[in-house]
Structure 1
């Protein structure tokens, strides 16, 4: 999470980019804090360890982000060729677009960090401007990705549990409206953060140049609005989406097991030349499990997508809970170095998840695989070999 704080004139969430004290590397302990806590924090992660670990994480993140950008670009291109007559194509395309934008925002933030880390002068305050234009956008885009994944899982649950009532609503138009609502309620509110900050040109004595910077708007309304906004949109929203995705995925896995058991009983009944309807007790235990194989493949694909998202998002959830519970676990507290490293590590999860989705589509979707192979000319290359 790259969250701005109400406190001013302190180290930002990009310590190596910070220029508030006219130095690109001003991260020092705040001696106004209790000395025992500072000693404990230094023991957890020293300055030397911090400046060794963080660049390594950034380079790793950059590599993963590039893979996510390429993978999601291909996914979007394939779904555009497939068309949007299927509601699932619309939601999966929206997910790919958000994953793509998320990876781009992280790439921008990482580039600015690396440029300043290697003493490349930038025409703007690396920490603050990049935070508003990259880090904060990533933070709220991750919430959008979480809600789209939760919606996809919830939709499949309803289609299996109450198919007759729901399928009238699960239409291309209905899915498009749902995606628009999710984006409006999760990502678009992130622009309200600019109520609290404004862009200005300031002279930087360390660089001896005028650079673009941001300054806070110190009105009581802006401060209160930021506090409420960050708690709701930065913490509550993603955690709630994670819980919905988790519950729906568990229900889908249980239902898939019922489907497999029902198909096995049907196969056994046919082998014994007994109609499955002759065993009403067995049929009643799997009511609602009789879905088409096409629907079953789609459910399995959704389970795979949601499962990867859940496992990749667990570290973020843990960090968000620590951010709420522990007063000093933030970019300005005693444990700020640990917080910054944790933030960068957890940011790796969603680009990994976004990169892995293309493998799921390729493995589980016949139409996607066919269009993908034509798009990258794999079929043509195999024909030329033969």
Structure 2
């Protein structure tokens, strides 16, 4: 049941350092391009605003994933700096990464919800979802998620500790004695309620989008030379397909972390100062999946959006 230290080390090096470092570098660059292109496309459209917010949250999530990769890289362990990087990464990499992936979850839920409204009430959606409301929602998500994770940064504190194996005092991490009392707030609010509400919302809205798109397609194939004002315009249909693909990728990528957060809420020993090896190994696979999701979006946009592709060609090629 328990992993050996050597096996744990090998898995963490591959997932965090090799894969995480590569995805962090490539993904940060890709999302910087995404953000630039969506600004050029104009932020008066709610979809562009949402995808810009998604690019920013993905960029920050990958930036902190890259931070974890650096902290866990053996090359940086004996640099002479009196800091235990493998301990402080939980605060300077792990939790910030979690926060911004949570923002990604809610922005994905929002953009799929907006597309559902486009199908359910196409003539009224612009009245309900305005550019200003979209901006306010995205900003509120950044603030709310960071606020909900604040207790975690209180219970995990930097402190100077003596390490006998190194025979020196170094800056590491300590958990306050009654951390469970504070941490339960974060685990339940941030990692269970906020995570699962967003995750389930994306699933429901994605299924709705796919079903409605399929229904409209069947209707068009069964009616010849009929003009239906409620049918989905070609441009909107392309956007629906784009959002559906993004949402489906999100669901598959975030399923492992959703399961692990539930495990943390149920089993208090599933924590860095509990089942250390199992905790970090399982989370390394979850982080790889989340990093993959954040890194792939630029390829989805480039393939499915001719306008996005045109701006990239004009600017960078």
Aligned pair count?
316
CA contact (8 A) 2:65 2:291 kept: no
Which residue number in structure 2 is paired with residue 53 of structure 1?
A: 11
Q: Greater shift after overlay, 92-101 or 45-54?
A: 45-54
**1:228 aligned residue (165, 179, 185):** 185
Which residue number in structure 2 is paired with residue 311 of structure 1?
A: 252
Give the deviation of 1:205 after TM superposition: 5.1
**1:355 aligned residue (295, 300, 306):** 295
- Deviations 1:269-326 (CA, angstroms, capped at 9, x unpaired): 13xxxxx37xxxxx8xxxx951211111111110011011111111212222333344
CA distance in 2, matches of 1:200, 1:338: 25
CA distance in 2, matches of 1:320, 1:234: 6
CA distance in 1, matches of 2:84, 2:278: 23
**1:294 aligned residue (235, 238, 249):** 235
Is the alpha carbon distance of 1:201 and 1:320 closer, same or farther for their aligned partners in structure 2, counting shifts above 3 Å?
closer
CA contact (8 A) 1:116 1:126 kept: no
Which residue number in structure 2 is paired with residue 371 of structure 1?
A: 311
- Deviations 1:216-256 (CA, angstroms, capped at 9, x unpaired): 455x6x75232222221123211221111011000000001
Give the deviation of 1:175 after TM superposition: 0.7
1:153 partnered with 2:94: no
Question: Where in structure 2 are there 5+ consecutive unaligned residues?
Answer: none
Is the alpha carbon distance of 1:331 and 1:129 closer, same or farther for their aligned partners in structure 2, counting shifts above 3 Å?
closer
CA RMSD of aligned residues (A): 2.4
Which residue number in structure 1 is paired with residue 213 of structure 2?
A: 256
**1:166 aligned residue (120, 125, 128):** 125
| Greater percentage in helix | 2
CA distance in 2, matches of 1:159, 1:168: 11
Normalised TM-score (structure 1): 0.75
Normalised TM-score (structure 2): 0.90
SS in 2 for 1:163: coil
SS in 2 for 1:212: strand
- Aligned counterparts, 1:17-166, within 5 A: 41-42=1-2, 45-58=3-16, 59-115=18-74, 119-166=78-125
CA distance in 2, matches of 1:115, 1:53: 13
Give the deviation of 1:188 after TM superposition: 3.9
CA contact (8 A) 1:140 1:234 kept: no
Q: Greater shift after overlay, 66-75 or 316-325?
A: 316-325
Is the alpha carbon distance of 1:121 and 1:169 closer, same or farther for their aligned partners in structure 2, counting shifts above 3 Å?
farther
Give the deviation of 1:368 after TM superposition: 0.9
Which residue number in structure 2 is paired with residue 185 of structure 1?
A: 144
1:265 partnered with 2:194: no
CA contact (8 A) 1:87 1:175 kept: yes
